[in-house]
Amino acid sequence: MEQKFINKKIEGIKESNIEKLKRLFPSVFKDGQVDFDELRNQLGDFEEVGQEKYEFNWVGKQEAKQNAISEISGVTLKYYPEESKDAETTENLYIEGDNLKVLKLLRNNYANKIKMIYIDPPYNTGNDTFVYPDTFKKSDKESKEELGITQNGETVVNILKDNLYKNTKDSNKYHSTWLSMIYPRLKVARELLDENGAIFISIDDTEHCNLLKICNEIFGQEHYVTSIPRITKKQRSAQEHYMDISHDYIVCYAYGENFNKIIERNIEDEKIEEDAIGKYIVGDTKALVAPLSQGYSKGGDYDFEYNGVVYKPVNKDNVRNRWLWTEERMKAAAKLGILRANGKTIREQLYIDKKFDEATNEMVDKDQRLIFHTSDFMENSKYSNANGSIDLEKLELKGVFNNPKPVELVKKLIEMILKDDEVIVLDFFAGSSTTAQACIELNAEMNNSKIKYIMVQLQEDLQERIKNASSSEKKTIEVAINLLSNMNKPLYITEIGKERIRRAATKIKEETNANIDYGFKVFKLGETNINWEKEEYKKNVDDYILRNGFIDEIQREELMKDFVDDAKDIDIVYEILLRYYGMPLSAKIEKIDNIGKRTYSIGGTVIICLEDTITNEIIDKLSNTDFAKLYLRDSSFKGEKSLELKQNLMTRLNLQKEYKDEKTYKVEFI
């Protein structure tokens, strides 16, 4: 009987791309290999003249691309209920660990499920620390040469913790190192993004142009929306050099037709008037036909059909002129429902008839939206870093983080993509967890829990970080260390983020009493719980011994264990769950006591049976349980009748298939 064993590796995008390619162009696969010349023929591509082409390159790009598509194994996410909040009911996640590894682990569970990504990555100012991909695989000498950081004429590298590095401006690969760090993370993040989702990335001038080139390659230039300028400070610097820089950017890429650079308009204090057509906001009634004084342009001279009527850009004397808006923008406005007919012209007017509540002076239908003006982020100081610091101060966390983004900023970004459906917001440079607080506040304002969040943050040791920090950063780290020490918490940056969420949740609940999800589950990147070496040993004992040396009886017993010592059932369950496509980590996990002591149900559709010994009685119970997939330990089928027990199990499941609407059950062994 053929058995399928659970896969050790969580596959990268390479494997799924190959399968897609096989379905689209089966003829390009010859002897299992891709014939790229034939693929070009299938795509109607002609051979280029010469080798030159438009492309963005840097030292280490090929390695970064390989790092993005490669699979991951040997690590998992371990659950920490004691550090979680409302662990049994929450659908929010806080994950500690290198975000590239974490993103790869989440590939199966959240593929195309993330509606919005917001990240605030290192700006590469010369004082940033971040993980440099694949350096940990190299020798110390190779790492130093690869990073190319020089000091006093010699190549050195500043290792803070594991593969965490400080990228200083004296590096001859200063930009390349940052690009190699950010590229694979964005590449994997693209796999998680919803088909109608959007990504927002905070960045400053240092890497803004490079980020755009990378994002054009990963997300597609046609999906680039804009770089929103954001005010960072109102006050002038004490020392100025040419110009006092008081802004950074929020780079935005978006998919689908649901995102149109729009946002709900706050019409509080707006003047409302009424005419024969209906109610409208004063200021939105300007005719779309340009005055003759503004000149004529052929591109703006077009007939426009709206609600079955053709409108022409003519003045009162019936002389053709031009529309103020392009035809593309006019069509977008019509789709948004903000155009109203006014005689023979179309005027820019918000349609609020039967949508406007005079008692509350608010819009009733939140789908009625206006074009969003990016200048809002430059003109309104509530989006500045100072307000981010005030947000922390309100939670009695003053001074624990440098330049935190304000909650109002992230709330506004989430509002851009928020519709009536539930959304998941991902932030894999979580920092002080501004994004999590923004999600909680928005949920409280709506009094529902439509917005779920996933925070990912490297578990960086503050005591190590302070050794290499600048003088201004040292003050901040000292405040954070004192706070965590007084709370008897580990001195990691992740503890700041988790504490911020707890305090924000408590404060919001007290102020609003909203019935929402205030909790989060904590996971941490850790080593695997499953002894994957067992299968390698069982398949070819002689070859294993040849490669690894003599194996005595004690070593053999260790090799034949299913799980590592002290592995917890719940962590094994989650490690298996990471290999099940489409099931979120927030899914409810329940023990099925009527089957055994170590059998679990995930989301009511997946069963993981970790029982030490499988009996016919357990098989009977399993075959009478409804599930989509079943995982069992191969070693639990013991004795001379092990094959008979497996055959009995598969037979019973096949009988189920006959009597349960042809439902297919899948079984995998550990």
Q: How far apart are CA 651 and CA 670, in angstroms?
A: 20
C-alpha dihedral sign at 380, 384, 388, 390 = negative
* Residue 666, beta-bridge partner list: 629
Q: How far apart are CA 584 and CA 603, in angstroms?
A: 9
* H or E stretch at 572: helix 569-577
Q: How far apart are CA 459 and CA 495, in angstroms?
A: 9
* Long-range Cβ contacts of 157-161 (<8 Å, 24+ apart): 158/468, 160/129, 160/460, 160/461, 160/464, 160/465, 160/467, 160/468, 161/460, 161/461, 161/464
Phi, psi of 340 (to 5 degrees): -130, 140
CATH class as words, domain 75-127+179-261+374-524: alpha beta
* H or E stretch at 657: helix 642-659
Per-domain residue ranges for the chain?
Answer: 13-53, 75-127+179-261+374-524, 266-366, 531-669
Please report how many Cα atoms fall inside a 13 Å half-sphere around the Cα of residue 644, on the Cβ side: 5
Q: Which of 656, 665, 648, 670 is nearest to 1 (CA)?
A: 648
CB 79 within 8 A of CB 570: yes
Residue 474: C-alpha distances to residues 113, 468, 470, 482, 485 (Å):
39, 9, 6, 12, 16
Q: Strand ranges (DSSP E) for 366-450?
A: 370-371, 423-427
Q: What is the pLDDT of residues 275-323, one digit of tens each?
A: 554 555 554 445 566 666 667 788 788 888 888 878 888 766 777 888 8
Predicted pLDDT of residue 547: 80
Q: How far apart are CA 129 and CA 131, in angstroms?
A: 7
State how beta strands 521-527 and 93-96 pair.
parallel
Predicted pLDDT of residue 289: 67
Predicted pLDDT of residue 356: 43
The reported pTM is 0.79
CB 71 within 8 A of CB 191: no
Phi, psi of 247 (to 5 degrees): -150, 160
Predicted pLDDT of residue 507: 97
Q: What is the pLDDT of residues 393-410, one digit of tens each?
A: 999 999 999 889 999 999
Scored b (16 or more CB within 10 A) or e, 630-663 reads: bbbbbbbbeeeeeeebbebbbebbeebeeeeeee
Q: Which tokens hold the place of 527? A: 């080593």
Using CB atoms within 10 A of its CB, is residue 150 exposed (0-12), middle (13-18) or buried (19+)? middle
174-192 and 61-69 helices, crossing angle to 10°: 20
Q: Which tokens hold the place of 453? A: 């969040």
Sites in the chain below the pLDDT cut of 50 = 132-162, 260-269, 277, 283-285, 349-358, 361-371, 658-663
Q: Strand ranges (DSSP E) for 47-128?
A: 75-79, 93-96, 114-119
Predicted pLDDT of residue 21: 78
Strands of 666-669's sheet in order across: 589-591, 599-602, 606-609, 629-632, 666-669
Predicted pLDDT of residue 482: 96
Q: What is the DSSP string of 146-213?
A: HHTBEETTEE---EEETTEEE--TTBTTHHHHHHHHHHHHHHHHHHHEEEEEEEEEEE-TTTHHHHHH
Q: Which tokens hold the place of 233? A: 């400070």
Predicted pLDDT of residue 273: 62
Predicted pLDDT of residue 372: 56
